[in-house]
Structure formats: structure tokens, C-alpha cells
Structure 1
Amino acid sequence: MAQELSIPQLGVTMTEGVITEWLVEDGATVQQGDPLYTLGTDKTETEIESPAAGTLVILGEIEVDYAVGTVIGRIE
């Protein structure tokens, strides 16, 4: 079963974020806890880890503003 990757809310006032870099290639096999991408906000940049093991499918593009909760990929 695929698990969706969505933009997390890293702070109480956070409403959107920007993927500044994908750290793993589309189609790569990842393990739970592996860093997937860097998420930029108005205050910081944070590496976001994989919530599960499987194959990464990238849907989100770098340097695009995404609202919290937007699906940007999935682990299959």
C-alpha cells in the first residue's frame, strides 16, 4: 500500500513550504528514516525523512510554494 508524502506543518504559524532539494532520485528505494527532501520555510530549512520503506515517487517540484498538507510524492 502506498503512503502519501505531504508538506508537514513544522510550526504553529506555518501555512506553506518550499521543496529546496530532493535528496533522493525519483524511483529510488528508501528506508524508513532516510532523508528525502529539504523543506524551506520563512524561518528555516529542514530535512524531511521517509515515513516508510519502499520506492519513492516524486510529484512535487523544487522551488515551488506548497500549502501544508499538499501531496508531493508517495512511497510505494
Structure 2
Amino acid sequence: MATEILLPKIGFSMNEGTLAEWLVADGAQATEGQPLFALESDKSTNEVDSPASGTLKILKEPGETYEVGTVLGIIE
């Protein structure tokens, strides 16, 4: 079963964030609990861990700003 990778809410007032970079390549193996992507908010940059293990399919490109809850990719 596929797991959606959502842009998380980091901080009380966060409504959007910038996907700084993917730390795992498209089509590569992601490991649950390991850093998956870097997220920039207005106050900091955070590494976000993978919610599951499997093959990463990237849906959104780095450098863009997305709303909290946006599906950034899928782990199959």
C-alpha cells in the first residue's frame, strides 16, 4: 500500500513551506525514520523523516512553496 508524503505543519502558525531539497532520489529506496527531504519555513530549515520504507516517487519539485498538507510524493 502506498504512503503519501505530506508537507507537515512545523510550528503553530505555519501555513506553507518551501521544499528545499529531496534527500532521497526519485525511484530510490526510502527508509522509515531516515531523513527524506528538507523543508524551509519562515523561521528555520528542518529535515523531515520518511513515514515509511519503500520506493520514493517524487511529485513536487524542490525550490517551490506549497501549502501544509500538499502531497509531495509517494512511497510505494
TM-score category, normalised to shorter length: over 0.9
Give the Å deviation of 1:65: 0.7
| 5+ residue gaps, structure 2 | none
Match of 1:37 in 2: 37
What are the Cα deviations for residues 18-51 of structure 1, in whole angstroms up to 9, with x where unaligned? 0111111000012111111100000000000101
After superposing on structure 2, the runs of 4+ consecutive aligned residues of structure 1 that deviate more than 2 Å are: none
- Aligned Cα RMSD in Å? 0.6
TM-score, with length taken from structure 2: 0.97
TM-score, with length taken from structure 1: 0.97
Match of 2:63 in 1: 63
